[in-house]
Amino acid sequence: MPKKLLALFLVLTCAASAITGCSSSKNRVVNEDNQIDQEIVTITFFGNKYEPENVIVIEQIISDFMRENPSVRVSYESLKGNDYFEALEKRMEHGRGDDIFMVNHDVLLKLEADGQVADLSGLSTLPDFTDEMRSQMGEEKITWVPTTVSIFGLYCNLDLLKEHKQEVPGTLSEWEAVCEYFVNCGITPVIANNDISLKTLAIGRGFWQVYQDKRQTEVFGQLNHGRETLSEYLTDGFSIVETFIRRGYLDAEKTLNTKKTSDDLDDFIRGESPFLLTGAWAAGRVAGMEPDFRFEVAPLPILDEGSMLVINPDTRLSINAQSDHFEAAMKFVEYFTKAENIQKFADQQSSFSPLKGGSPSSVLEIQPLIACYESGQTVIGTDDLLKLPIWELTAEVSRKLLAGEELESAMSWLDQQAQERIVP
């Protein structure tokens, strides 16, 4: 276990002991007369929220829960990025899965197929979720609940744009014109990472009209059964990615080695490029890095006549179907998804609430996203109606294009991989 991770684990365990009043009787709750009241149940919670600012909020929710439920101890452990999902899959494969864990769309497909996630249909908080989020969770068996709605946008260095007499772009042609201007000035305009930056652009552009026509059920059903191909929808979006690479709007070689919400943020705060493509959830972190320029996160200018957003039901929570403490795990997930906790968590994540009546994050820099979100100019990046690992496959297509592979070849690979993942 990494040192930071071990330290965090010990801190939370110690906090649990303090809250439950446990010392020498660390496995039982003891009343004032030192009589044993009940057994203490310890549940484990595994997640990919690793950064200190994220963990602080999770720790607050855990502490408040344990204060109200002194017979339950919660231990939270985290890993960052793709390492987390690899570790999650290995734990589940070897029967060492935690009671509660965070999942994403692609990993969930595997866990559901193997019957490794419990049914959460009994959660009392389910009616509180918006209709859009409820439609994502399914109808018969619910195996996950979102705690945020994440948004992918375009970070804009407002001072650099102003210095060069350029505007925040609102359409694809406007964005290309601004990028062309900066390239001619010897400046690489777009900072991107090797995971989420380019695939979200392609997914948003590719499925935009499907969502506008409300044909998700039809189209994703066709894709799930191999009657249509992903390339039919995503070639248009990835052709924009290819164009940006070819014209030098981003540094392909550097992007291949740029880690999300890490290297890309460091590059952006240097103030040398006007744009960064990544999740809006990092806006608070970027502001905390105190760049010497003003910035905002704008909707993605990837349409011929406007902008849009790619969104995801995110920070999804699932319960291990093999958990020995299912009731305690359900009680904690129910507590986590209360309105006040969801709002606290979403606000810290610079994200939106998945609940009815929930408010967007108050982080100043993401306010330009609100109108676009509320007007429905959105595409879900990992729609639960699509039973293909879209997040994994499109990330690999992005890397292939960055490495110089031709678009036609990358699209052929995408369709072949999707065909192999179709469940009869």
Per residue in 191-204, pLDDT tens?
999 999 999 999 99
Residue 316: pLDDT band (50, 70, 90) is: very high
pLDDT of residue 1: 42
- Residues 6 or more apart whose CB falls under 8 angstroms from that of 206 comprise 233, 234, 235, 236, 237, 238
Of residues 400 and 49, more confidently modeled: 400
First to last CA, the chain: 39
pLDDT of residue 50: 82
pLDDT digits (tens, 9 = 90+) for 331-371: 999 999 999 999 999 998 899 999 999 888 889 999 999 99
| Dihedral sign, Cα of residue 143, residue 148, residue 151, residue 156 | negative
Q: Which fold would CATH assign to domain 150-313+363-421?
A: D-Maltodextrin-Binding Protein; domain 2 (3.40.190)
Is domain 3-147+315-348 classified as CATH 3.40.190.10?
yes
Burial annotation 75-91 (CB, 10 A radius, 16+ → b, else e): bbbbbbeeebbeebeee
3-class DSSP assignment, residue 279 = strand
pTM score, two decimals? Answer: 0.88
Q: Please, is 405 exposed, middle or buried when counting C-beta atoms within 10 Å of its C-beta (0-12, 13-18, 19+)? A: middle
pLDDT digits (tens, 9 = 90+) for 385-420: 999 999 999 999 999 999 999 999 999 999 999 999
Residue 37: pLDDT band (50, 70, 90) is: low
Kindly report, as residue ranges, where domains of CATH 3.40.190.10 are found in the chain: 3-147+315-348, 150-313+363-421
